[in-house]
C-alpha cells in the first residue's frame, strides 16, 4: 500500500471489487482448454501489463506474483487495488471493447496468462461452459459491488468496520491488517477507523494488537454492522 496518496485512499476500497482474489472465473482446466487463446507472459517488477486509456486487446490471468491497479496519471496515482494469483484483470475493458479503465503494474516478478481478444472469442464460442462460468463470476462480482455500495452509502464508519471484521476474520477470529489498511479498504481515514475500533474494544467485541484485530463476539459485531 505504500505510495498511496493519503487523500485518495478511498479509491482503494475497490480492491474489494476489482481485485478480490475470489474473482476466479477460470480453473486450471479451463485454462488448458483456452491455451490457444493466448500465451504465458512474464513481467519484471515495475513493468506494466497494460495502461489506462490504451486499447484493450488483452486480458490477463495472474498466475504468480502481485499486480497493482492504478488510475490517473503517474504523478498522481490512485491505487485502486492489488490482486494476486487467480485474478483476472482487464477483461471488462477487453470484452466491452473500451480502453482500459486502469493501469496494471507488476509489484514483484509476475507470471500471467495473456488472453488475446481475437483468439479468445472464437475459443469461448467453442466452450460455452467456460463462457457461462465467466458470466457467473462477473455477475457475482456485480452483486458484490452493488452490495458494497449499500454499505458505503449510508453506514457509519463504525458499522463498516464491524462488517469488514466479520467478513475478513480468519478461522482464529483474527484480522491481520493494519488500521491504515482497513481505512484504505473502506475508503475512510485512519483516525476514524481507530476511533471505531476503540469503541468496539470498549464494548468488548474485539481486542486490538499490532497489525491485528481479534474478534471476540462475532454475532454482536454483525449486529453493529447492520445498524444505521
- Residues in touch with DNA (CB under 7 A): 2, 6-7, 156-158, 178-180, 187-192, 194-195, 197-198, 208-212
Q: Which is nearer to a second copy, 40 or 132 (CB)?
A: 132
Cell of 46: 515495475
Q: Which is nearer to a second copy, 71 or 205 (CB)?
A: 71
Q: Which is nearer to DNA, 34 or 197 (CB)?
A: 197
Contact 85, 22 (CB under 8 A): no
Q: Which is nearer to DNA, 34 or 159 (CB)?
A: 159
Binding-site size, a second copy (CB under 8 A):
42
SS3 101: coil
Kindly give, in sequence order, each residue whose CB lies less than 8 Å from that of residue 223, ignoring residues fewer than 6 positions away: none
For residue 88, report the phi and psi dihedrals to the nearest 5 degrees.
Answer: -110, 130
Nearest Cα neighbor of 78 from 9, 13, 20 is 9
Residue 87: HSE in the Cβ half-sphere, 13 Å Cα cutoff: 24
Considering only residues 62 to 101 of the shown chain, the ones binding a second copy according to CB under 8 A are 91-93, 95-96, 98, 101
Minimum distance from CB of 50 to a second copy (Å)?
15
Picked from DNA, a second copy, none, the partner binding residue 148 (CB below 5 to 8 A depending on kind) is: a second copy
Minimum distance from CB of 172 to DNA (Å)?
16
Residue 210 DSSP label:
T
Contact 182, 161 (CB under 8 A): yes
Q: Which of 6, 40, 54, 132 binds a second copy (CB under 8 A)?
A: 132
Minimum distance from CB of 208 to DNA (Å)?
5
User: How far is C-alpha 142 from the geometric centre of its chain's CA atoms?
Assistant: 13
First CA to last CA distance, the chain: 30
| Residue 15 exposed, middle or buried by CB count within 10 Å (0-12, 13-18, 19+) | buried
Continuous segment of H or E residues that includes residue 147: helix 128-154
Residue 142 binding a second copy, by CB under 8 A: yes
Minimum distance from CB of 205 to a second copy (Å)?
25
For the chain, the residue count is 228
Q: Which is nearer to DNA, 133 or 214 (CB)?
A: 214
Q: Which of 3, 28, 32, 129 binds a second copy (CB under 8 A)?
A: 129
Interface residues with a second copy (CB under 8 A) are: 8, 10-11, 13-14, 17-18, 91-93, 95-96, 98, 101, 121, 124-129, 131-132, 134-136, 138-143, 145-150, 152-154, 187
Amino acid at each position: 500500500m505504500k505510495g498511496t496518496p493519503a487523500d485518495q485512499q478511498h479509491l482503494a476500497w475497490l480492491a474489494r471489487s476489482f481485485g478480490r482474489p475470489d474473482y476466479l472465473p477460470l480453473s486450471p482446466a479451463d485454462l488448458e482448454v483456452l491455451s490457444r487463446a493466448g500465451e504465458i507472459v512474464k513481467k519484471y517488477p515495475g513493468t506494466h501489463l497494460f495502461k489506462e486509456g490504451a486499447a484493450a486487446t488483452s486480458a490477463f490471468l495472474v498466475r504468480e506474483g502481485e499486480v497493482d491497479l492504478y488510475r490517473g496519471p503517474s504523478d498522481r496515482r490512485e491505487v485502486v487495488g492489488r490482486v494476486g494469483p487467480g485474478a483476472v484483470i482487464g477483461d471488462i475493458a477487453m470484452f466491452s471493447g473500451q480502453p482500459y479503465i486502469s493501469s496494471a503494474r507488476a509489484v514483484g516478478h509476475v507470471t500471467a496468462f495473456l488472453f488475446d481478444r481475437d483468439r479468445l472469442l472464437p475459443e469461448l464460442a467453442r466452450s460455452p461452459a467456460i463462457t457461462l462460468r465467466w458470466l457467473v463470476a462477473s455477475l457475482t462480482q456485480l452483486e458484490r459491488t452493488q452490495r458494497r455500495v449499500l454499505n458505503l452509502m449510508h453506514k457509519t464508519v463504525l458499522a463498516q468496520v464491524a462488517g469488514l471484521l466479520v467478513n475478513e476474520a480468519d478461522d482464529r477470529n483474527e484480522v491481520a491488517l493494519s488500521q491504515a489498511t482497513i481505512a484504505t479498504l473502506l475508503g475512510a481515514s485512519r483516525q476514524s477507523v481507530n476511533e471505531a475500533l476503540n469503541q468496539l474494544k470498549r464494548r468488548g467485541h474485539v481486542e486490538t494488537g499490532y497489525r491485528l484485530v481479534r474478534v471476540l463476539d462475532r454475532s454482536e459485531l454483525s449486529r453493529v454492522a447492520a445498524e444505521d
